[in-house]
Structure 1
Amino acid sequence: MAEPPLLQVDAIDAHYGAVQALYGVSLAVRAGEVVSVLGGNASGKSTTLKSVLGLVRPTRGRILLDGHEIQGRAPADVIGRGVASVPEGRRVFPEMSVHENLLLGAYPRRHEKAAIARDLEDVFAAFPRLAERRRQPAGTLSGGEQQMLALGRAWLRRARLVCIDEPSMGLSPRFVDAVYEVLFRWKAEGQTILLVEQNARIALELADRAYVLQHGHVVLEGGAADLAADPAVQKAYLGAA
């Protein structure tokens, strides 16, 4: 019998006031898997991720992490269960240094001093620009550098599930490549990732499986390679004529 998914989103609805954003959305993420959620603006993909993280309370349905219901729990409770977040817009602490921001990611495992020191060096090796700026206030970094910092902070968490919201948004192609180089490394190391992304081409290259949302509904799901070859996906998201 196959093991149950690490994360199971089961037929959730979500509202912002009187406006319904999600309609019966279901998805699953197995341990060691990368799953992408694709869609255009207002498709519901970020609301799905925020529902997992406890930032939005579903009005119907269930969200299970390791078989335990987490829908409606506070974000701190969800994070405490082994989830890390790389939010849209980075959300670094601008007055704190790069080094201090990274250490915040490791706070739940703060007693593992030797392991944290090794992980910090791994982050600085992966992102040399952060190493050069480790004493700088995070608010002085470029957008691409802040995205690297947000990823590094999640790396220090050593989470069982990393939820990433629009990592390529607003970045130059050079920074997108740098960010995804690290995500491909995480995948190779077996990190479980739930990724929300508008850049469908690179998201499907990274993912094992994907879901496509439109107007709050899941309209397609399947293996990432199969979806990348689907004419409807190519036309809507990959620029095919």
Structure 2
Amino acid sequence: MVEHAQSFLVVDDIDVHYGAVQALFNVSLHVQAGEVVGVLGGNASGKSTTLKSVLGLVHPSRGRILFEGKPIQGMAPADVIDLGVASVPEGRRVFPEMSVIDNLMMGAYPRRADKAGVAADLDAVLTAFPRLAERRKQAAGTLSGGEQQLLALGRAWLRRGRLVCIDEPSMGLSPKFVDMVYEVLFQWKAQGQTILLVEQSARIALELADRAYVLQHGHVILQGKAADLAADPAVKKAYLGAA
């Protein structure tokens, strides 16, 4: 059992298999309320599988996952979301034939009884993302990749999750859109939002995160405060492009 049983989120010594192939080996991590925790690593390191395990998209073959003290391993994704988890998935996963507004409102569906709160948050999202406001009636599938990433963030914003799980937010985006996305994430951090962030771009993730874990071949090989990892020669060489 990991030492942080009272943490907001605990991933405790999990293994995950895809058929006969093992993707995670004894992976443990924890997230405190109000923290931003990064999960870093290269391709096929297991970082996205770790996030999918939290969301119920894959189920560990061993170990536990606790959200606010409640075991959630093996739960269906919809049930995990109902507990107060929001997701910004890899590849955005917008509903391409639905309008921008309808996509945003899908995020607010669990809060549908709170009409005033949803309306206020929708106004806030459209103010923060003028591109989405300009394209509010446009089909989401016609947006650029960067605009779809903003839409996925806005959808999670409307969910008002106590934990937001974000998978590769910078993937495939131009530097301009990466800056826009991370500007929002820094704002969320300042507001005390709890975030579990999977990111291949270690440099910017370590600027945002309070702590981070580095995965390689399904194993946690490094963990610690983000500032310490950013200064670690091994991390610099492997993930930050240092000579």
Q: TM-score range by the shorter chain?
A: over 0.9
Residue 119 (structure 1) aligned with residue 124 (structure 2): no
Measure, in 1, the Cα distance between the counterparts of 2:98 and 2:219: 40
1:135-214 correspondence runs (5 A): 135-214=137-216
Does the 8 Å CA contact 2:5/2:69 hold for their aligned counterparts? no
- The residue matched to 2:117 in structure 1 has which SS? helix
The one of 33, 43, 46 equivalent to 1:44 is 46
* Matching residue of 1:228: 230
Question: Does structure 1 conserve the Cα–Cα contact (< 8 Å) formed by 2:86 and 2:165?
Answer: yes
The aligned counterpart of 2:111 is 109
Partner-residue secondary structure (3-state), 1:162: strand
The CA distance in 2 between the partners of 1:157 and 1:113, in whole Å, is: 13
Q: Which residue of 2 aligns with 1:8?
A: 10
**Residues 126 and 133 in structure 2, CA contact (< 8 A), matched pair in contact too:** yes
- Deviations 1:10-61 (Å, cap 9, x if unpaired)? 0000000000000000000000000000000000000000000000010000
SS in 2 for 1:134: coil
SS in 1 for 2:196: strand
CA offsets 1:52-99 (integer angstroms, 9 cap, x no match): 000001000000001110001000010000001100000000110000
Q: CA RMSD in A?
A: 0.9
Q: The residue matched to 1:42 in structure 2 has which SS?
A: coil
Instruction: State the alpha-carbon separation in 1 of the partners of residues 39 and 15 from structure 2.
Output: 16
Q: Which amino acid aligns with 1:29?
A: V
Query: Could you tell me the percent identity over the aligned residues?
Result: 80
CA shift, 1:115, in A, is 1.0
Letter in 2 for 1:96: M
Instruction: Give the one of 63, 66, 71 matched to 2:65.
Output: 63
Q: Distance in 1 between matches of 2:135 and 2:39?
A: 33
Q: Which runs of 5+ in 1 are unaligned?
A: none
- The whole-number CA distance in structure 1 between the counterparts of 2:36 and 2:92 is 20
Aligned counterparts of 1:15 and 1:133: Cα–Cα separation in 2: 41
Equivalent residue runs for 1:21-36 within 5 Å: 21-36=23-38
- Once residues 136 and 93 of structure 2 are traced to their aligned partners in structure 1, the CA distance between those partners, rounded to angstroms, is 17
Report the AA paired with residue 80 of structure 2. V
Q: Structure 1 runs of 4+ off > 2 angstroms? A: none
Q: Which residue of 2 aligns with 1:81?
A: 83
Q: Which amino acid aligns with 2:92?
A: R
SS at match of 1:153: helix
Measured after TM superposition, the shift of residue 3 of structure 1 is: 8.6
* Deviation readout 1:156-210 (Å, 9 max, x if unpaired): 0000000000000000000000000000000000000000000000000000000
Letter in 1 for 2:7: P
- When structure 1 is superposed on structure 2, of 138-147 and 3-12 the one drifting more is 3-12
Q: Which amino acid aligns with 2:181?
A: V
- Distance in 1, matches of 2:123 and 2:183, equals 17
- 2-side partners of 1:196 and 1:171: how far apart? 15
Alpha-carbon distance between aligned partners in 2 of 1:5 and 1:191, rounded to the nearest angstrom: 15
Rounded to whole Å, the distance in 2 between the matches of 1:174 and 1:5 is 35
CA distance in 2, matches of 1:226, 1:124: 37
Q: Which amino acid aligns with 2:111?
A: R
